[in-house]
């Protein structure tokens, strides 16, 4: 609250329920579908043409990519549930803590250039989407923390402190 009693504008909350969020949601879900189709089709065929090192890297990075996309899709679904009223902010924050969004570490493993261009493009798109989601998530988590009610004082401990204070005076 400001000194005048007015509430500050919740830009993060507005962003999460804006048309831009729904565009981000659609992009994320489409990326999940596109990646799955690629990995099951052209990616599988391309992986058969790779060297043993490239094939092992492709396998590892495919698992990493699908895991990241599932985390991003879960985050998007949580936000959509909040926006539609299916979940409360507290529920979303609790579930959000179970997710692992990337830390922005853009490491490029040895042999990356050997991977098929289609796969590298999907990974780059996922990196960009993840960066945008992380930025929005940071804002939303700060907003949730600011809106969190104060934890009430433990009444038992407060009474014990009062008793100790009272008996210490004697």
Of all residues in the chain, the percent with pLDDT exceeding 90 is 47
Q: Which two tokens stand for residue 79?
A: 């936000």
pLDDT digits (tens, 9 = 90+) for 64-119: 999 999 999 999 999 999 888 898 888 888 888 888 887 766 678 888 999 999 99
Mean pLDDT, rounded, for 48-62: 95
Within 13 A of 23's CA, how many CA atoms are on the CB side? 5
**pLDDT for 7:** 47
DSSP states of 100-162: ----------TTGGGS-HHHHHHHHHHHHHHHHHHHHHHHHHHHHHHHSPPPPP-HHHHHHHH
Cβ neighbours, 10 Å, residue 140: 23
Q: What is the Rg, in whole angstroms, of the alpha carbon atoms belonging to the chain? A: 23
Mean pLDDT, rounded, for 122-130: 95
Sequence-distant (6+) residues with CB within 8 A of 93 are 141, 144
Confidence band (pLDDT; 50, 70, 90) for 8?
very low
Domains in the chain (CATH in brackets) are 11-168 (1.10.8.930)
**pLDDT for 144:** 66
Mean pLDDT of the chain: 82
What letter does residue 6 receive in the DSSP assignment?
A: P
Least reliable range by pLDDT among 50-54, 64-68, 105-109, 165-169: 165-169
Q: What angle do CA 133, 98, 14 make, to 5 degrees?
A: 35
**pLDDT for 130:** 94
């Amino acid at each position: 609250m400001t000194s005048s009693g007015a509430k500050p504008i919740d830009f993060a909350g507005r962003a999460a329920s804006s048309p831009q969020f729904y565009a981000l949601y659609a992009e994320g879900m489409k990326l999940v579908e596109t990646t799955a189709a690629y990995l099951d089709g052209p990616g599988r065929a391309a992986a058969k043409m790779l060297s043993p090192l490239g094939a092992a890297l492709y396998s590892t990075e495919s698992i990493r990519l699908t895991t990241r996309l599932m985390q991003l899709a879960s985050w998007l679904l949580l936000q959509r549930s909040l926006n539609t009223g299916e979940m409360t902010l507290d529920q979303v924050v609790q579930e959000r803590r179970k997710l692992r969004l990337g830390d922005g570490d853009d490491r490029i493993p040895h042999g990356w250039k050997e991977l098929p261009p289609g796969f590298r493009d999907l990974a780059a798109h996922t990196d960009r989407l993840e960066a945008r989601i992380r930025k929005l998530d940071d804002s939303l988590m700060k907003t949730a923390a600011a809106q969190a009610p104060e934890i009430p004082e433990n009444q038992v401990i407060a009474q014990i402190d009062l008793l100790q204070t009272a008996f210490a005076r004697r």
